[in-house]
Chains A and B, each alone.
Chain A
Amino acid sequence: MKAMVYRGPYKIRVEEKDRPAIEHPGDAIVRVTRAAICGSDLHLYHGMMPDTRVGTTFGHEFIGIVDEVGPAVEKLAVGDRVMVPFNIFCGTCFFCARGLYSNCHNVNPNATAVGGIYGYSHTTGGYDGGQAEYVRVPFADVGPSLIPDDISDDDALMMTDALATGYFGAQLGDIVEGDTVVVFGAGPVGLYAARSSWLMGAGRVIVVDYLDYRLQKAREFAFAETYNFGEVDDIVVVMKRATDHLGADVVIDAVGAEADGNLVQHITAAKFKLQGGSPVALNWAIDSVRKGGTVSVMGAYGPLFSAVKFGDAMNKGLTLRMNQAPAKRQWPRLFEHIRNGHLDPSAIITHRIPLAEIAEGYHMFSSKLDDCIKTVVVPDAA
């Protein structure tokens, strides 16, 4: 089969790989019909995530058709159209039993601090991802769901991570009616977090980024007020002025490890990998939220240390909430929101490319070319 393969930082190509095999009775093999490139894939692409091995296939956002099932699989059958959450989880361990699917303890021998994720380095278990024609799906009775007939492939694809994560990020803000919510980052997760904040009763939603085309999308898609931090001297002061010098009730970091806006932080983290991530957006979140407020972190960071302004977080009495989203737990409610017209996830898709062009797709997304926000990858076998 054809699959995207990592060759080292900034280098990927499409190679012929063996079709994945059933390795556990609970496995299924899924023929991928659509995959997406996620902002967090860029951390792998740039060599920021420890133990990213040459030969690995990325891709934790994908949907497809069940092609083979293991002997213990009961709920799926060959030919089923399924959406697969980016988390790999067993469904029965201490954490899964309590709904913390993203923290499953039974799928990642390489680390205890994170669960299993498709195509996201050995730090999350060493699984191949879905930017390929076929992918191995462990615990097939637990993770994947049949895509309802009235849900489009594109909407289902967005639900496998980006939408579920953005919506989960808004929930972690514990938004109450009338709250002012600031979202740092107008990428897919930030756009979905901003849009979801309204569902939870926000009184104002403000989105901050440095790319004008993404801020325009934030105004149109998420009905948000927007600020370009590249056009102001100090975005924290601007946020304070915008909130009557009180600070926002809730701030969501939807940027993560490669945040820009502070040259030293960005270069030491994103370019030279001396930190687990560039915590510029996280520090701005800590500074921009009001005392006693909540910071929700949806941006992905590496496991190494980062220079976070923790003292201010303590002094302000903040609540810091974060996690990888348990994607599947969000799905029933997200189906309702899509059906009721509250959310239109596929509206943020800007590009579609064949798998053969994935190297150029990564470069485009990484370099923010052609007003790229979300790229869908379509394998030949789809």
Chain B
Amino acid sequence: MPYTAVKPSRARTSDELRATIPGWGADLDPAVRPSYPRERLEVPVTDTMPEQQQHEGYRERSIEHARLTPVFGTVAPLHGLSGWIRRLAYDRYSEGRALHWLLLVLGDRVDSAASGLRSFASLRPDNPITETGVLAELKRGGLRSRVGRGRIDLKHTWIDPILVAGPFVLGAVVLWRVTRPLRRRR
């Protein structure tokens, strides 16, 4: 009982556990655990820096960094309105400011919306059926996986179609409105 100094008794002794569970107690000694102690010198400490990855032009970085790190990713460089928003987040606000992250989230939404709209001017427009993977509902037992299984996530599953289809519907409405003058001219 917790109201005395006695630790609750165990259902199985260590010997019983060792006999039934593969490897029970193999790492009982903290010294054999690979992340013990948490900080342990793995290599000699030197003052050498890795060679700097070459780059041209602007590469955004956190203002909490003193310099551009020696190595960095180069996928999807900043561009357009989303790039301007993201650059503002990086150049002006540290990671300690909520605005830094909220601007980055805003940049994500602008990026996604603009890319979706741009795709309709390309040979491969966004496809809500194939890109959302919704056909898995038919192939992977959408109904069978949900009904009668007591899943508590069903309480909010109704939101998902709105979140998924919403941007497509909104995009269609914007496209319809934007092209209205063109249709009237004809």
**Residue positions of A touching B, CB distance < 8 A:** 7-13, 23-26, 47, 50-57, 72, 88, 90-92, 96-100, 105-113, 116, 122-123, 125-128, 138-139, 168, 171-172, 174, 177-178, 180, 196, 198-201, 203-204, 210-212, 223, 228-231, 243-247, 260-261, 263, 266-267, 271, 273, 276, 290, 302-305, 326, 329-330, 332-333, 337, 340-343, 358-364, 367-372
Contact = CB atoms under 8 A, between A and B. Distances in A.
A96 B34 CA distance: 15
Interface of B: 1-2, 7-8, 10-12, 14, 17, 20-28, 30, 32-36, 38-46, 48-51, 53-54, 59-62, 64-65, 68-76, 82, 86, 90, 95, 98, 101-102, 104-105, 107-109, 111-113, 115-116, 119, 126-128, 130-137, 139-142, 145, 149-153, 155-156, 159-160, 163-164, 167
B151 A230 contact: yes
B23 A201 contact: no
A353 to B, nearest CB: 10
Contacts of A178: 7, 10, 14
Contact of B98 (A108, A231, A304): A304
A98 to B, nearest CB: 4
Q: Which 6 A-B pairs have the closest CB atoms?
A: A342-B23, A8-B112, A126-B73, A363-B133, A127-B73, A359-B133
A112 B12 contact: no
B95 A111 contact: yes
Given A122-B73, A125-B72, A126-B73, A273 B33 contact: no
B112 A54 contact: yes
A360 B136 contact: yes
B43 to A, nearest CB: 5
A127 B133 contact: no
Given A7-B115, A99-B42, A330-B35, A369 B137 contact: yes
A353 B155 CA distance: 29
A179 B40 CA distance: 26
Given A260-B152, A304-B98, A105 B140 contact: no
Given A92-B46, A368-B153, A204 B133 contact: no
Nearest to B96: A113
Contacts of B27: 171, 196, 199-201, 333
Contacts, number: 307
B104 A341 contact: no
Contacts of B141: 369-370
Contact of B132 (A10, A204, A305, A332): A10
Nearest to A271: B159
B34 A341 contact: no
B145 A368 contact: yes
Most buried by A among B2, B135, B141: B2
A55 B76 CA distance: 6
A244 B69 contact: no
17 contacts: A7-B126, A8-B167, A56-B76, A90-B70, A107-B70, A112-B95, A127-B75, A198-B23, A198-B24, A198-B25, A211-B151, A223-B20, A246-B7, A261-B152, A337-B26, A360-B139, A369-B137
Contact of A112 (B50, B62, B132): B62
Given A174-B30, A333-B33, A364-B133, 5 more contacts: A97-B41, A98-B40, A122-B76, A139-B71, A261-B152
Contacts of A123: 104
B112 A369 contact: no
Contacts of B155: 263
A92 to B, nearest CB: 7
Contacts of A247: 2
Contacts of B53: 23-24
Contact of B130 (A97, A359, A372): A359
Contacts of A57: 75
